Structure 1
């Protein structure tokens, strides 16, 4: 049986030990730097040193300026914004113009790539002649879309420049698309939904109604459209 006096002494000892242990933990926590990352810079990144596109004008270019991409079309349109975002991602400067006529022989630095919103910008004046000359000098020419089938059909020079041998149909319904190795990133890829998969068909965001251009034998294709099966094999629609 424990007397009241011994019980009181035991309680005093337990409280004292508890206080000592807790006090030591508090002192250790205050003297340590567990909540501080010494690897963090005192001056966090503000974005001031991030790469930014230079504001360039065709009339003010010099031979010492950095390479740039020329977009011919509507800068506020979907394609214009996509090209601008791509240039930012690739750290390339971009100049936007609404006509090929602004790219005169007086421009001291030619672009390394020209992206035309549609073929209509190659039909005005001597634009196609200029594109042919620049292509021979190593400038990459990209047509964002080929919208007016009749305009292309009636311009044999443009068809030769695009590598189109003939136009099989003004509109053709596709079942999907095939990307060959070497196009953008990755290897060969098929984009096609099964006729039995209604959900996947509803989620399809590709425009599957396109003109059918048949390219010449010397034209390299990176992407083709797919049409319905015939004689057991999948036909391809360029």
Structure 2
């Protein structure tokens, strides 16, 4: 793990204890207490997927783009997701089949048809050995879209796609990055997919590897572009 703080662990403890007290038979998958090794049985039954502090470096540096992300899934299907960004004063909620909201106001993607005019969010792995593929992705995107943003909190970035502030977001992520924000984005009208194949041991909605989250107008073109470098 990178740049973990006492706040990461304190937030995780508070959230996990609250869940365990009420939902005694539910599983919990939280970023700070997992080894990142996935087996299919982990995702069986009711499971809470939590990122207690997404954007830790931003939090440490007093930058506002950090969030708490929580989702509940059953057998790998996400039913409710919540992303709360306290310094930004926003709370995003998505309910399967019930739409997406920001501060209780319904939100929708910005229907944008031209990739060359799109503003896209992306990010880099903290593992320096994995930086080069991300840089290749950046080089490709900068020549085909209007501009890029790196806010270092992908849960917020995908919610920004949901609310039309960004047109797309793409990078390699973990289940706790995409569980809540992916549902919120899809309920707001976005499409999510993957550049490569999804491993058999991870449910589709919880796979963050090479994820693409975009409004429908540019999704196909963006996915084709990203696959062209493979």
TM-score by length of 2: 0.22
Structure with bigger helix share is 2
User: Larger C-alpha radius of gyration, 1 or 2?
Assistant: 1
Structure with bigger RCO (C-alpha 8 Å, 6+ apart): 2
**TM-score normalised by L of structure 1:** 0.22
